[in-house]
Amino acid sequence: MPDRPLRLAVTTGAYTHIADGVSLTLNRLVGYLVGRGVRVEVLAPVGPANAVEPAGTLVPVPSITAPGRPDYRVALGLTRSARRALGAFRPDVLNVSTPDLLGLGARRWALRRGVPVVGIYHTHFASYLDFYGLQRLEPLLWRYLRWFYRPFAQVFVPTHSMAKVLRENGFGDNLTVWGRGIETDRFAPEKRDLAWRRALGFADDDVVVTWVGRLVLEKGLDVFAAMVEAMQARGLSFKTLVVGDGPERAAFEQRLAGAVFTGTLRGDDLPRAYASSDVFVFPSVSEAFGNVTLEAMACGLPAVCARAPGASDLVVEGETGFLVPPGQAEAFADAAAQLVQDAALRLRMGEAARARALTFRWDVLLGQMYDALQSLAFPTR
């Protein structure tokens, strides 16, 4: 192994302009690698202000606002100046985190120069099509993704269930499961705050059913709203809390008129919101992992989630919560009703959820990625 630090280049569609699962995970990874002596250069779109302070060296690339999604930006590709930046940096490994135009250009640049390319599969892209009336494009999308990732040395997938979906759709043997961790000291049951609940209008004995995430169609907002309506029609006594923001907020607030909407919460406010709730529900089928589910579990909440990639690797059916057939609001209502009506069941499942969350350790996972990148950059001769 040479006596110089590893040089890693990263391309991604989200790094600083939005605080989503992709950007937060990548910044945590880059921060860790920099701390281990790795030199990291990140090529990504930027917005007018940072939602996340970047780790590593950030090289902004030209981008536009995503059509219909002003919270996201779309990179316009690997420009001449970005190619010059890559050439001057001379990476040992390229990590492509989004299969967009920027990733496509960087992929081509690296393969032509014999630079090993790896990918982190953050998003279940095919699942998005149903929510935007684009189901007919699914075969074409899978064809593109198979072609895009085929020459990669490794594709890091966050869950075994997501890896299974990819293999069923023709991906090769370059998949490696690399999960996500949780700050169990930050996300913890002890963050429960009755004063905070009261300030939102919740009584101490109210059962609060909570949804956390970006308010976008693909997160299952319609299923969650229909579940709440079904539970209300049954006469169940509970309150609804929605944490997050996004383009569908106005419509969601109108439909769930009795719910409390906090908007986006960060810092200590987010774990306090989880821990001050009683039941977590997340019907999304678009997650490759499900960071919000793990955060809720770490705060001691039983979770009711769609039986889909991501949640299936986190929620243990009947032990830490319930896995429900995707899209079935009545089934979600059945599962959530059990928890609303049974305090002992909530407590038992919440304690089991916390214990399971404790097994997802960032230090181990980040160390695994460091070792994998070192092996690719400096293989044993």
In tens, the pLDDT along 86-99 reads 999 999 999 999 99
Q: What is the pLDDT of residue 126?
A: 66
Tens-digit pLDDT profile for residues 327-362 = 999 999 999 999 999 999 999 999 999 999 999 989
CA distances for 365 relative to 83, 166, 195, 355, 370, angstroms: 31, 21, 36, 18, 9
Tell me, what's the pLDDT at 226?
A: 97
Q: Residue 66 above 60 pLDDT? A: yes
Q: How confident is residue 381, by pLDDT bands cut at 50, 70 and 90?
A: very low
Helices (H) and strands (E) in the chain, counts: 13, 15
Q: Specify the pLDDT at position 127.
A: 66
The arithmetic mean of pLDDT across residues 47-71, rounded, is: 88
Please determine, for residue 379, whether its predicted confidence score (pLDDT) is greater than 80. yes
pLDDT digits (tens, 9 = 90+) for 21-55: 888 899 999 999 999 999 999 999 998 888 889 99
3 has pLDDT over 90: no
Q: Report the C-alpha gap between 217 and 221 in whole angstroms.
A: 6
Give tens-digit pLDDT for 213-222. Answer: 989 888 889 9
Evaluate if residue 65 carries a pLDDT over 80: yes
Question: Is the per-residue pLDDT at 130 higher than 90?
Answer: no
Residue 69 has pLDDT above 80, yes or no: no
- pLDDT of residue 1 exceeding 70: no
pLDDT digits (tens, 9 = 90+) for 134-172: 778 888 989 999 999 999 999 999 889 889 999 999 999
Q: Which has the minimum average pLDDT: 44-53, 110-119, 185-194?
A: 44-53
Provide the percentage of residues in the chain whose pLDDT is more than 70.
97
Please give the CATH superfamily to which domain 7-181+361-377 belongs: Glycogen Phosphorylase B; (3.40.50.2000)
Say what the pLDDT of residue 19 is: 81
Kindly report which listed range (14-23, 120-129, 269-278) carries the lowest average pLDDT score.
120-129
pLDDT above 90: percentage of residues in the chain: 75
Q: How far apart are CA 158 and CA 156, in angstroms?
A: 7
Mean pLDDT of 193-220: 94
Quote the DSSP letter at residue 319: T
How far apart are the C-alpha atoms of 327 and 226, rounded to whole Å?
10
* Fold agreement between 7-181+361-377 and 189-357: yes
Helix (H/G/I), strand (E/B), else coil: 266: coil
Q: How confident is the model at residue 129 (pLDDT cuts 50, 70, 90)?
A: low
pTM of the complete model? 0.81
Look-up of token digits 């002596």: 37
What is the spatial distance between Cα 260 and Cα 244, in angstroms, rounded to a whole number?
Answer: 11
Look at 123 and 330; give whichever has higher pLDDT.
Answer: 330
Dihedral sign from CA coordinates of 316, 318, 322, 326: positive
| Cα–Cα dist 121/22, whole Å | 10
Q: Enumerate the domain spans of the chain.
A: 7-181+361-377, 189-357
In the predicted model, what is the mean pLDDT of the chain?
92
pLDDT computed for residue 131 by the predictor: 60
Range 289-314 burial, b when 16+ CB lie within 10 A, else e: bbbbbbbbbbbbbbbbbbbbbbbbbb
pLDDT at 68 over 80: no
Range 279-295 average pLDDT: 89
For domain 189-357, which architecture applies?
3-Layer(aba) Sandwich (3.40)
Q: Tell me what pLDDT residue 313 has.
A: 87
Stated length of the chain = 381
Q: Collapse the DSSP code of 40 into the 3-class scheme (helix H, G, I; strand E, B; otherwise coil) and give the result.
A: strand
